[in-house]
């Protein structure tokens, strides 16, 4: 797919949030009467995008030195570019791509709090990797949520991907154990593990996740492990705590930002990036299986601000 296409698709999906934010930015340019007025408007814009008070103050501090008159005369183009640069800088540090290797086993573990969209993401990743001609096995390690397994099964069928079967209430670590042996026996090159949603404050459930990871490390041979944390773009500052806890327990290798097709700005990724520096790898913009994109900071910010 051509890059231009991807940008326009993301723009399409982001249309609602983009329009809103771009309007406000325009307004910010035109109607700020003095520097403090301007800074207040900028603060409002960032806070309303869920960037959070800490990251917002830091971004604002970079504007405190500006010559307001000069910026105004230049129609604020400089300002816009500066804001873009700051955001891209934050999002780009430690950037790394979502990638699978053909020459070894790739294990992708999907984690997150309840309702963030893990199962849908598992389905979308399966769909995409299948199209890129990988041999995939889905493991439904969400044996807790009623019908969680069925939901994944439906998505697996839609993507034409195999799923190992299990029963509700089964021990997730042993489901993963079985799944890994099955995948290795069948010479699969990708395993996607859909885990149960859990609040990061539930120590027992976090321990269970750590155990699942240990099983993977003990059982799999020559593999690369990707631990993706799914974060809902409509979430507020608590998502920082979510990311922190999951990262401490598991060592998260990437973030997947979901529900970006609404009006929420997803500024929470800026806050998380600032705080934890975990790369954002994928972004999801709708309910269809193909609504999954690589996260690219400049395109994301560009789509948001232009």
Question: By CB under 8 A, is residue 54 in contact with another protein?
Answer: yes
243 binds another protein (CB under 8 A): no
* Contact positions with another protein (CB under 8 A) in 90-119: 113-117
Which residues on adjacent β-strands are paired with residue 211? none
19 touches another protein (CB under 8 A)? no
Pick the closest to residue 197 from 111, 283, 109 (CA basis). Answer: 111
Nearer to another protein, 133 or 204 (CB): 204
Question: What is the nearest approach in angstroms of another protein to the Cβ of residue 119?
Answer: 8
Nearer residue to another protein within complex by CB, 105 or 122: 122
**Cβ proximity to another protein, 106 vs 151, nearer residue:** 151
Closest distance of CB 15 from another protein, Å: 9
User: Is the Cβ of residue 265 or residue 299 nearer to another protein in the bound state?
Assistant: 265
What is the distance between the alpha carbons of residues 52 and 236, in angstroms, rounded to a whole number? 8
The reply to whether 126 sits near another protein by the rule CB under 8 A is: no
Say if CB 227 and CB 109 are below 8 A apart: yes
Q: In what order do the strands lie in the sheet with 136-141?
A: 162-163, 136-141, 190-195, 105-111, 223-232, 254-258, 280-284, 292-294
Please, which residues bridge with residue 224 across strands? 106
Binding of another protein by 50 (CB under 8 A) = yes
Stretch that binds another protein, among 44-52, 159-167, 209-217, 290-298 (CB under 8 A): 44-52
Classify 194 as helix, strand or coil.
Answer: strand
With CB under 8 A as the contact rule, the residue among 31, 34, 53, 77 that binds another protein is 53
CB-nearer residue toward another protein: 77 or 147: 147
Cα–Cα dist 209/109, whole Å: 10
State how far the Cα of 271 lies from the Cα of 301, in Å rounded to an integer: 14
Return the residues of window 165-194 that contact another protein according to CB under 8 A.
168
Q: What six digits make up the tokens of 207? A: 């321990």
DSSP E strand stretches across 112-157: 136-141
Q: Which residues contact 261 (CB under 8 A, 6 or more apart)?
A: 13, 14, 16, 285, 286, 291
Contact segment (CB under 8 A) with another protein among 6-14, 26-34, 101-109, 237-245 equals 237-245
Which one, of 149, 126, 110, lies nearest residue 289 by Cα?
126
Binding site residues, another protein, CB under 8 A: 16, 44, 47-50, 52-54, 113-117, 144-148, 150-151, 153-155, 168, 199-204, 232, 234-242, 259, 261-265, 268, 275, 287
């Amino acid at each position: 797919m051509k890059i231009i296409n991807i940008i326009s698709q993301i723009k399409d999906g982001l249309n609602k949030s983009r329009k809103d934010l771009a309007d406000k930015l325009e307004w910010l340019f035109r109607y700020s009467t003095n520097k403090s007025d301007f800074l207040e408007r900028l603060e409002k814009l960032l806070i309303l995008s869920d960037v959070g008070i800490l990251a917002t103050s830091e971004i604002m501090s970079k504007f405190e030195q500006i010559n307001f008159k000069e910026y105004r005369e230049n129609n604020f183009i400089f300002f816009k570019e500066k804001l873009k640069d700051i955001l891209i800088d934050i999002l780009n540090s430690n950037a790394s791509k979502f990638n699978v290797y053909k020459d070894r086993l790739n294990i992708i573990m999907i984690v997150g709090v309840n309702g963030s969209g893990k199962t849908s993401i598992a389905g979308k990743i399966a769909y995409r990797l299948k199209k890129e001609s990988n041999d995939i096995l889905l493991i439904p390690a969400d044996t807790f949520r009623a019908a969680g397994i069925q939901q994944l099964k439906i998505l697996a069928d839609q993507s034409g991907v195999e799923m190992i079967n299990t029963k509700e209430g089964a021990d997730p670590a042993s489901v993963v154990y079985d799944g890994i042996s099955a995948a290795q026996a069948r010479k699969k090159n990708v395993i996607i593990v859909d885990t149960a949603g859990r609040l990061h404050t539930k120590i027992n459930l976090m321990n269970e996740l750590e155990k699942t990871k240990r099983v993977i490390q003990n059982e799999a041979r020559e593999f690369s492990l990707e631990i993706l944390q799914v974060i809902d773009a409509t979430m507020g500052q608590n998502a920082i705590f979510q990311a922190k806890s999951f990262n401490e327990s598991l060592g998260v290798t990437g973030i997947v930002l979901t529900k970006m097709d609404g009006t929420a700005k997803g500024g929470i990724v800026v806050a998380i990036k600032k705080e934890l520096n975990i790369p954002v790898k994928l972004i999801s913009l709708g309910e269809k299986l193909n609504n999954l994109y690589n996260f690219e900071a400049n395109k994301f910010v560009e789509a948001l601000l232009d």
